[in-house]
Structure 1
Amino acid sequence: MARPATFDELAVIIDDMPERLKLFVVLAAFVGLREGEALELRRSDIDGVIGRIDITRKVDKNRMRAAPGACADCGRPITAPKTASGIRIVHAPPPFLPMLQKHLLEHTAPGPTGLLFPGDRSDHMSARYLMDRYRPARDKAGRPDLTVHHLRHTALTIAGQHGATAAELQARAGHASQTAMAIYQHASLDRDRSLADRIGDTYAAWQASQRAD
């Protein structure tokens, strides 16, 4: 497993990505979404005011058009997360809410079912399109080893550094055991939002230090 990205490296990557994909890096590196989960997010899954994100589906980039349930436009099926624990609610850290709100206004397909990251024809964005733009950004940050999956690993590392319990980490990641999920559910969604707030406070302090320099 590659070492987690630093805030400095993430800032370079985000800055170098096209406007329509900056939020993708944030959702992977600070929230911990899987690639397929992010690419299947719809406008109705997002509360831009508080940064709430409902994850109930994913797009499977590895399955062919003929698969049951395939998306007619893109040839990739939309499925439920791999396990029941993959269906979850997470929150974006507050410093990223302006980016999220701007993305909803300028880059999300229209209508409640509009994709958060549409392709050129308002179908699903292809993994190749994403990687063709992500690869130069990570290289510019000096992290050619950093895959999209490693961004998710970074998000969970950051969450752990900010006091998330094992159960909360597993639930935020969406791969918790049933026992861990039961423990987390007692903590309530307020705990996930509080965790996002703490991550946001650290990131905001880092931003302030960069401006001071």
Structure 2
Amino acid sequence: MSVKPGQAQGEWVAPEAGEIELLEYGQRWIAERKLAPRTRQGYEFLFARQVAPYLGHLMLGGIRPATVRAWRKKLLDAGVPEPQAVKAYALLRAVLNTAVREDEIIRQNPCRIKGYDQYHTPERPTATIAQVYALANAVPARYSALVLVAALSGLRWGELVALRRRDLDLDAGTVRVARKLAALRSHLEFGPPKSAAGVRVVALPAAAVEALRAHLDEFTAADADALVFTGDKGALLRSGNFGRAVKWTRTVAALGLAGFHFHDLRHTGNTLAAASGASTRELMHRMGHASMRAALIYQHATNERDREIASAMDRRIAKQARRKGGQSR
């Protein structure tokens, strides 16, 4: 039996595997996949920058776990941040999963190395309610409601800046998330939310409703399709332009929130919801997630805080008991 390049003696590999380069297969995989425009651009970037230069010339059947380990080391040695290396690995694994399960070109996926799909993410900061209000008061009035609604609804930036008047029902105190605004390389583009779970109706606290009423009266055009949040001249909001307009870095630092990102307002809102007793399913709905993973993170954090509270109570009880014991002698 003849053995093809990259094939171990005695291992079965479909004949096509020795004839298809990863470069060709990966590019076709991205082109044919049903993806949101921004996701497609991200995949194209990752594949072109982190995968193709190192592995693109290899035949699918010639990629082994050892190949993947050497590739990851080269990425990290070249200064590629670990989160990006993890994303590149996840993309390669997805491409090769299709080669295994759907196209049956190779027998096993070499991307099966424990820990390569994970990286440590430092806990993002949250703001107190007082800090959220201070931030809303510190930015120009046009953006105050945007800050408050971001913190009290848990909506993503792209969902917030895509809201239209008709998405708000202030009498019912709800906002309907039906679309997002994505920043592509050359333009902004409206599209569906991140997933099917992203299409949702979220209940708003009264404080957010009140802020929206005032904002609509002063800064939003009257027609139903008018965007709720826009720039000074009614233009679509880009995160970079917004950051410069509100002097974000300087403003949050002055409030004791150095390093705080706009996305941390969503984190703050989700933490508030979890601390208010929201169930996992309820958190998933508010966040627009189909999986429990993210919701469980917030519940875990809340449970840890609950344990801290109980421990503090124990210390107070013990202190009181010692005090009473000393008085009885």
What band does the TM-score fall into relative to the shorter chain? Answer: 0.7 to 0.9
- Once the two structures are TM-superposed, the CA of residue 32 in structure 1 deviates from its matched residue by 0.3
2-side partners of 1:97 and 1:149: how far apart? 20
Contact persistence 1:109–1:122 (CA under 8 A): no
2-side partners of 1:28 and 1:16: how far apart? 15
- Once the two structures are TM-superposed, the CA of residue 119 in structure 1 deviates from its matched residue by 2.4
TM-score w.r.t. the length of structure 2 is: 0.49
- The 3-state SS of whatever aligns with 1:77 is strand
TM-score w.r.t. the length of structure 1 is: 0.74
Tell me if 1:76 matches 2:188: yes
Contact persistence 2:148–2:211 (CA under 8 A): no
Bigger Rg over Cα: 2
- Once the two structures are TM-superposed, the CA of residue 97 in structure 1 deviates from its matched residue by 2.2
- Once the two structures are TM-superposed, the CA of residue 9 in structure 1 deviates from its matched residue by 1.5
Tell me if 1:11 matches 2:133: yes
Contact persistence 2:179–2:199 (CA under 8 A): yes
Tell me if 1:91 matches 2:203: yes
Alignment match, 2:282: 168
- Once the two structures are TM-superposed, the CA of residue 177 in structure 1 deviates from its matched residue by 2.9
2-side partners of 1:135 and 1:93: how far apart? 27
Q: 1:148 aligns with which of 254, 262, 269?
A: 262
CA RMSD of aligned residues (A): 1.6
Instruction: Give the aligned residue type for 1:100.
Output: L
Bigger RCO of structures 1 and 2 (CA < 8 A, at least 6 apart): 1
Q: 1:137 aligns with which of 251, 259, 274?
A: 251
Cα distance per residue 1:146-186 (max 9 Å; x no partner)? 111111111000000001001110110001239xxxxxxxx
Instruction: Write out the 4+ residue segments of structure 1 that deviate beyond 6 Å after TM superposition.
Output: none
2-side partners of 1:139 and 1:129: how far apart? 19
Contact persistence 1:59–1:76 (CA under 8 A): yes
- The 3-state SS of whatever aligns with 1:113 is coil
Percent identical: 32
Alignment match, 1:33: 155
- The 3-state SS of whatever aligns with 1:124 is coil
Cα distance per residue 1:96-127 (max 9 Å; x no partner)? 32211111111113311111112234231121
- The 3-state SS of whatever aligns with 2:188 is coil
Cα distance per residue 1:58-117 (max 9 Å; x no partner)? 0002x134xxxxxxxxx3110101100000000220123221111111111331111111
Instruction: Give the aligned residue type for 1:127.
Output: S
